[in-house]
Copies of this chain bind each other. A is one copy, B any other.
């Protein structure tokens, strides 16, 4: 979901600073900002970039409406600035990597150029949108990695962080999920919607068998029966088998059973045995209940015969690491490159407009990335970001520039990809990322270097400051 009026979905200081730029006559100064993150979430090896399509749609809606201007007036903003906002046309130019791209720390994956006002007031909206969607797309990709060929479906809406649930269900698809239980997200984004049944359905009948039978009567080709309301192995599975046999007689097939409690590995094995013994090899076993990538991996490690995973809370809230630390930093002002100093060397930002280059191994997999100034040639050598004697020759490798112009003077200049296209892109890129970077435990660090020109510009500016 996107906001139709996104301009005030921002931190107040973006607007007080904007008024300051305006009143001091500096508002037409050109500026460049970079979006990047610093710390990999989940102790993982990569992030899937997501949220771009939502951001582009909101940029197209970016203007200040009368009611918004009135609210700002009450906050003490000055009349001359409000008049300016009323006629404000939002015309930045934005370069970005594709939605679904595999990205790494400190890479300026998105760059905003415009007047200092328009680049500044986009900050909070941009961070709110990209940080969360990228976080969830990444979590989803990890969960999908654990599930392998088995489908994973988002069941998280009841525990998602409010309306963020709509964005989570969308981002999960980019990360590789097959569907969602979230009907509105399905409607808004053309996502397959799925569901089984709740315990309340079973409880609302006198007995479990009647509950199963009634459901199967109305959904003869799409029933997944929840078998753990009374006793999974004593009642649930035997009753499901009865109903499956009755469906067979009428020329239909039970799709599956769902386990939602107890030891999922044990119950899956036992249920599989009982189903197979009844000649119901085709009936699938779906599981849910506090799943994440680690539990799914562990269930498979123990040979649990599971066919479908419903993943909720741990996915939609990114439970074990619920925020991506993406930031938005000024890199040039009024034609001059700038950087943000820090006591911490790793937090010194990179100056000026930049591009990100990906270098490929001969087999097509990712070798490393380079960051260079936007207007220089693709570098043949890349340098460690702050350990000066380390460098790598990459001149012989195939390379790609990852950023593309997506907005020019406020107009979206690409065809906004469909969710399916972004999911396919993420899938294709993840296949090119070598396994050692995808390991859950202590993944190998993917190299991101700087061009010599960029490195020298940074050192020069640090010396000046």
Contact = CB atoms under 8 A, between A and B. Distances in A.
B124 A261 contact: no
Given A15-B183, A24-B218, A201-B20, A127 B159 contact: yes
A26 to B, nearest CB: 7
A162 B181 contact: no
A226 B11 CA distance: 15
A83 B131 CA distance: 41
Interface in A1-46: 1, 3, 8-17, 19-21, 23-24, 26, 29, 31, 33
A23 B201 CA distance: 14
Contacts of A155: 11
Contact of A340 (B8, B33, B199): B199
Given A158-B128, A195-B16, A323 B330 contact: no
Contacts of A229: 340-341
Q: How many copies of this kind of chain does the complex include?
A: 2
B157 A124 contact: yes
Q: Which of A29, A218, A313 has the most CB of B within 10 A?
A: A218
Contact of A13 (B124, B181, B184): B181
A386 interface: no
Interface in A125-171: 127-129, 131-133, 155, 157-168
A201 B330 CA distance: 9
A181 B75 CA distance: 12
Interface in A173-225: 181-184, 186-187, 193-201, 203-204, 214-215, 217-219, 222
A465 interface: yes
A68 interface: yes
A231 to B, nearest CB: 8
A343 interface: yes
A342 interface: yes
A317 B168 CA distance: 14
A230 interface: yes
23 contacts: A1-B163, A3-B163, A10-B182, A10-B183, A10-B184, A11-B182, A12-B181, A12-B186, A20-B214, A20-B215, A21-B204, A23-B218, A120-B200, A123-B200, A127-B159, A128-B160, A160-B164, A162-B166, A199-B329, A203-B330, A261-B342, A317-B323, A322-B322
Given A1-B163, A12-B193, A229-B341, 9 more contacts: A8-B184, A10-B182, A13-B197, A17-B197, A31-B204, A129-B162, A159-B325, A199-B340, A203-B338
